[in-house]
Structure 1
């Protein structure tokens, strides 16, 4: 395993992760416009986001084992090809139902970038190099959903919502070409039993019964839940209730970018001194403070009363995600693809379930949203306290 990371390699892997998560966020400023065009309820358009989360979560359970069996490169190339076709079909959707179906399958194949990207890093690097790479990937996983609406807001204002999917189609084509010519296979020893049902059941059972693995997975999944609950409701609060233009809404997401970047920076500085587990604990504290402040201020809907608390929340998010991801995968190098799949499944399944909860609760205020976010922050802290008593396993399935 390498001890240093080539910049070009890291840019490519980060781009794969970024494209997958940009798929969920780029069109978010267009949700009210999609609602208007198809003449449906806000919840009908929010479902397109929830279905993407579900597809993204379940797809990882397929692509993870496939990458362990056949290698990272072929699975990635096939996944990118399918993604390109499905993204184009979303651009041509003629009904909300067609868009909902398209978004589910787009999410199903969009996960191939993050799944294979994480597994490639685990194949190629160890120790501090792996931790540094995971920090960059974790940053992309949270920062891109915040940056993408800025571009999406401009696209909606000047072109229209369908252009989001044309752009994703073009980006996937570029990545497909680059990966075909530049990405080499990182998996030295393929696992011929990786997709056999008995073996899969054994691997997943081992992962799911590992207290250390599941503890880290649940902490990261709960942190994801709060962020994406906000993500689901934000366009309707800011555009629908406060009257922001779509491009202005996108710009408001810069504050969450700054929060996450600050948290990630603090994580990188503090991990060598305190260790990743203590940094995750501090991050959980920020989640709790930010969500608690959001609840206190939620009686009066304003930009400051929502964005300031959520910026604190995303600082905690930036501290929790890199450490919990690296710690979850560390004991399982030979089944990194499957372990990465289970990790990603729970992160986005938690996000999907929380999104389903907040949709029917939408009442034009941030009160109920803040209750949901505070609840998952409390659960994340409780789960960490349980995790703190757990010793990581040194064996794997």
Structure 2
């Protein structure tokens, strides 16, 4: 097992992880334009994002065991081919129902990059090295949601939303080509029983009954949920209510991603000194501070009153993710793919659930959004303190 992080190897894994997030974020500045083109309510276009989350979360429970059984590389190759096909279909969607269906399917296959990528990291690294690798992957999970809307805003302004899905198709083909020649198989102990239903259900049941694992998974998932609740509402608040352009909206996301990058940087430096648990708790403090500040400033809608508190929140987000992801997978080396799948499922299921909650509550202000994010932050801290109090399971 490696103790040093190879830059070239990790760059490829980071790109695979980023692919899933880019699929989610690239078209976000186009949501109001899609609403106008198809003449539907805002909730109908927001649903394309929620359905992506649902597909992304559910499919991880399949791709994780598949990679344990057949290896990381073959599963990744098939997933990238399917992703390219579905992304191209989204580009030619003729109505909102077709786009919603395409987005669900795109989410379903887009998860193959993050699931296999996390499992590969678990195959290659352990301990502080794993936390460092996950800190880099976690940075991609936040940097891409900032850079992708910037690019997506420019695409929307100069070409149109369909071009975003064409670009995703091209990127998938490029990654597929690189992986064919550069990615080596890391699953050296393939498990022929990984897909047996009884065994699979037994593994998932064991993971779900492990308090330490669930505490790490849920703090990660709830931190995700708060951020993506904001991400779902932001285009309609900034573009719809405040009247900024789609390209400007993309640039504004750099503020929240700077918060995440700061938190992730701090996590990478503090985990070796403090240990993951203290860093996660420190991060939860930022989640509470940011969401509380958002609620306090929600009486009047402005860019500063929304972006500044969410930048504080994302510092905590960046601190929570690396340690919680590494600690969740550490006790389960034999079923890293399945454990990674459960982790990813809860991250994006929490995001989807919170998005479904905020959609009907949208009232043109950030007030109800701030209440939801604050409740999510409180839940993240409380469950983490309770479920992880006895430490990891004995191996």
| Bucket of the pairwise TM-score, normalised by the shorter protein | over 0.9
1:172-205 residue CA offsets vs partner (Å, 9 max, x unmatched): 0000011011111100010000000011011001
Q: What's 1:217 paired with? A: 217
1:388 is displaced (CA, Å) by 4.2
Q: What's 1:171 paired with? A: 171
1:108-159 residue CA offsets vs partner (Å, 9 max, x unmatched): 0000000000001111122222221111111112221222111111110111
Question: Are 1:121 and 2:121 matched, yes or no?
Answer: yes
1:11 is displaced (CA, Å) by 0.6
Counting only pairs closer than 5 Å after superposition, residues 123-138 of structure 1 correspond to structure 2 as: 123-138=123-138
2:93 aligned counterpart, secondary structure: coil
- Between the aligned partners of 2:143 and 2:377, the Cα distance in structure 1 is 19
2:331 aligned counterpart, secondary structure: coil
* Structure 1 unaligned regions, length at least 5: none
Q: What's 2:279 paired with? A: 279
1:394 is displaced (CA, Å) by 3.1
Question: Are 1:265 and 2:258 matched, yes or no?
Answer: no
- Between the aligned partners of 1:11 and 1:265, the Cα distance in structure 2 is 17
1:357-396 residue CA offsets vs partner (Å, 9 max, x unmatched): 000000100000000001101111111221341220133x
Counting only pairs closer than 5 Å after superposition, residues 184-263 of structure 1 correspond to structure 2 as: 184-263=184-263
Q: What's 2:292 paired with? A: 292
2:191 aligned counterpart, secondary structure: coil
- Between the aligned partners of 1:128 and 1:355, the Cα distance in structure 2 is 33
1:80-119 residue CA offsets vs partner (Å, 9 max, x unmatched): 0000000000000000000000000000000000000000
- Between the aligned partners of 1:127 and 1:217, the Cα distance in structure 2 is 17
Question: Are 1:354 and 2:346 matched, yes or no?
Answer: no
- Between the aligned partners of 1:389 and 1:127, the Cα distance in structure 2 is 20
Task: Report if the CA contact (8 A) 2:72-2:116 is conserved.
Answer: yes
Q: What's 1:374 paired with? A: 374
- Between the aligned partners of 1:2 and 1:146, the Cα distance in structure 2 is 31
**RMSD, matched Cα:** 0.8
1:259 is displaced (CA, Å) by 0.3
Q: What's 2:324 paired with? A: 324
1:23-77 residue CA offsets vs partner (Å, 9 max, x unmatched): 0000000000000000000000000000000000001000000000000000000
Q: What's 1:97 paired with? A: 97
1:6 is displaced (CA, Å) by 1.6
Task: Report if the CA contact (8 A) 2:131-2:268 is conserved.
Answer: no
Q: What's 1:79 paired with? A: 79
- Between the aligned partners of 2:215 and 2:3, the Cα distance in structure 1 is 28
1:332-376 residue CA offsets vs partner (Å, 9 max, x unmatched): 001000000000000000000000000000010000000000110
2:75 aligned counterpart, secondary structure: helix
1:331 aligned counterpart, secondary structure: coil
1:265 aligned counterpart, secondary structure: helix
- Between the aligned partners of 1:344 and 1:294, the Cα distance in structure 2 is 27
Q: How many residue pairs were aligned?
A: 395
Counting only pairs closer than 5 Å after superposition, residues 23-42 of structure 1 correspond to structure 2 as: 23-42=23-42
2:393 aligned counterpart, secondary structure: coil
Q: What's 1:302 paired with? A: 302
Q: What's 1:182 paired with? A: 182
- Between the aligned partners of 1:354 and 1:127, the Cα distance in structure 2 is 32
Question: Are 1:6 and 2:26 matched, yes or no?
Answer: no
Question: Are 1:342 and 2:342 matched, yes or no?
Answer: yes
